[in-house]
Amino acid sequence: MNDLSKARATILEVGEESETQRLDNFLLRHLKGVPKSHVYRVVRSGEVRVNSGRVKPDYRVRIGDKVRVPPIRIAASNPKPPAKPFGLPIVHEDPSLLVIDKAFGVAVHGGSGVSHGVIELLRAARPEAKLLELAHRLDRDTSGLLIVAKKRGALVELHRMLRDGEIEKIYVAVVKGVPPGKHFDIKDALHKYVNAKGERRVAVKEGGMEAVTRVKVLGSANGLSVLQLRLMTGRTHQIRVHLAHAGFPVLGDDKYGDFEFNRGLARQGVKRLFLHARRLVFKHPVDGTRVALESPLPGDMLRFCGANFPGANA
């Protein structure tokens, strides 16, 4: 008789931190090391019950639900070494969310050759936290403000607010070229695809996802411009693709930029993407109070703007 035959089922009660989470994701968080395929199998076979009834993997759990989990053997594995806790720059925190000022070159999550990103490092720094989830993402090469939810209800509401355009997200970019007007919108539809190297890319394409970027020119000089950008939609790489397609590639953009121009800038010390998530304004997802946060331009961008755009409100 094996150990599983002697084991008993486990009853997990759903708390506030897991409210409205899909059952499959709820189980994966509690069954570390269990393959997704096995989790789906035990749910579909009826071995997992919620309040004594059978449910599907996409069932949204509710506070107080009692989830019966059958005995499951977890295979031995060689987990990644734990992230080392360290202090992240937090510009706002309350019981439901926090906002981090992310540096250039730091991934928001692990993967694609990165062992640990912001969220893994934050979880390592706060092992007692019941929930820490990214409300949205920033490219690894983009610096600035990033929202993390600490409660499931706040995360769900933040996602809705992002979808409905209720969170004002303002960026600053330095680009090649001088736009003809001071204010304009870019409304090109965007299409995601994978290139021959297996890398995720985005292109302007008719029939793609609707995307709108609102542009304000803060200053221009020497064939360059510093722009303020408001995202009216939140598509992958939206600002970078929109600006490149409009003829104003972001300085230092190694995916969509002017590569020859960037090489020249690198010799002058410009070795990063000059795109910064500067400002967030939104109603708090729980109490409805107004939250307005701002991140100053990083030192290298500030020095570059000061040297090239005297008088610009960057």
Active site residues: 139
Backbone φ and ψ of 26, nearest 5° = -60, -45
- Beta strands of the chain (E only): which ranges? 10-13, 49-50, 66-69, 90-93, 97-102, 133-134, 143-149, 168-176, 183-186, 190-194, 200-204, 213-221, 224-231, 275-283, 290-294
22 beta partners = 60
Backbone φ and ψ of 125, nearest 5° = -75, -20
CA 254 – CA 248 distance, rounded (Å): 14
Buried b (16+ CB within 10 A) or exposed e, 20-36: ebebbebbbeebeebee
Cβ-defined contacts of 190-199 (< 8 Å, 24+): 190/235, 190/236, 190/237, 190/238, 190/241, 190/242, 192/236
CA 308 – CA 215 distance, rounded (Å): 20
Looking at residue 213, what DSSP letter applies?
A: E
